[in-house]
A and B are shown apart, each in its own frame.
Chain A
Amino acid sequence: QQQVKQSPQSLIVQKGGISIINCAYENTAFDYFPWYQQFPGKGPALLIAIRPDVSEKKEGRFTISFNKSAKQFSLHIMDSQPGDSATYFCAASISNTGKLIFGQGTTLQVKP
């Protein structure tokens, strides 16, 4: 019940295309859902996050869509660029516990 399942494992998108990564969770107590971006040799960096009281959050080219009834959330990267090539992790947590439960990661490659 603590798992967060992420798909796909890898993704190849053409420059200018839309990248979509999906995550699903079981624990309905989760109330914070961040996405992290990780470049090789670096630690993960917080990209965007959402709480379950909203269905969508947009920051620049990055959008989180959240479906509370389906217990799913997804990251959309619009106008994908080669510089977006990285590994993306979804995560979930219960507020104030300090414990992030991460998905398995998606390696994104954006081809020029």
Chain B
Amino acid sequence: GAGVSQSPSNKVTEKGKDVELRCDPISGHTALYWYRQSLGQGLEFLIYFQGNSAPDKSGLPSDRFSAERTGGSVSTLTIQRTQQEDSAVYLCASSRAGLKETQYFGPGTRLLVL
């Protein structure tokens, strides 16, 4: 596609439920990143994929968070047993392998945990 796409655009869930957020990177971009943006805050790095492997998952805040990428394309971020503090905008970005700093962001998924 023309840009990074994310779905759903908005998600409201109840505390304790699991959620899955999807990211579809720009075609040909082998690197994919997940960030979290809490209200009024900067972006917080969560995890980075090169192909299907995750060389850096240092930003995942707890073991309730996991992510996978299959076929070197679509990625899913899963949050288990959601808590109210998980409410945020989850942003996905992608880049070419040789230009990791030049990241193109999707519109984000706005997650609200009630």
Is A104 a contact partner of B100 (Cβ separation < 8 A)? no
At the interface, yes or no: A6 with Cβ under 8 Å from chain B? yes
Is A89 a contact partner of B42 (Cβ separation < 8 A)? yes
Is B91 a contact partner of A99 (Cβ separation < 8 A)? no
At the interface, yes or no: A102 with Cβ under 8 Å from chain B? yes
Q: How far is the CA of A104 from the CA of B102 in the complex (A)?
A: 19
Q: Which residue of A lies closest to B98 (CB)?
A: A96
B-side contacts of A34, CB under 8 Å = 101
Name B40-67 residues within 8 Å CB distance of A.
40-45, 48, 50, 55-56, 58-59
At the interface, yes or no: A100 with Cβ under 8 Å from chain B? yes
Residues on B facing A (Cβ under 8 Å): 4, 31, 33, 35, 40-45, 48, 50, 55-56, 58-59, 91, 93, 95, 100-108
At the interface, yes or no: A95 with Cβ under 8 Å from chain B? yes
Is B91 a contact partner of A41 (Cβ separation < 8 A)? no
B-side contacts of A49, CB under 8 Å = 101-102
Is A44 a contact partner of B56 (Cβ separation < 8 A)? no
B-side contacts of A95, CB under 8 Å = 100-101
The residue that B101 contacts in the complex, of A6, A32, A43, with Cβ under 8 A, is A32
With both chains docked as a complex, state the minimum distance between the C-beta of A103 and any C-beta of chain B, in angstroms: 6
A-side contacts of B95, CB under 8 Å = 98
The residue that B103 contacts in the complex, of A4, A100, A104, with Cβ under 8 A, is A100
B-side contacts of A42, CB under 8 Å = 107
Q: How far is the CA of A93 from the CA of B59 in the complex (A)?
A: 14
A-side contacts of B105, CB under 8 Å = 36, 43-45
Is A44 a contact partner of B101 (Cβ separation < 8 A)? no
The residue that B43 contacts in the complex, of A93, A98, A102, with Cβ under 8 A, is A102
Is B100 a contact partner of A96 (Cβ separation < 8 A)? yes
Question: Known contacts A43-B107, A96-B100: does B56 contact A104 (CB below 8 Å)?
Answer: no
Is B107 a contact partner of A41 (Cβ separation < 8 A)? yes
A-side contacts of B50, CB under 8 Å = 98
Q: How far is the CA of A41 from the CA of B105 in the complex (A)?
A: 12
Is B101 a contact partner of A102 (Cβ separation < 8 A)? no
Q: How far is the CA of A84 from the CA of B50 in the complex (A)?
A: 34
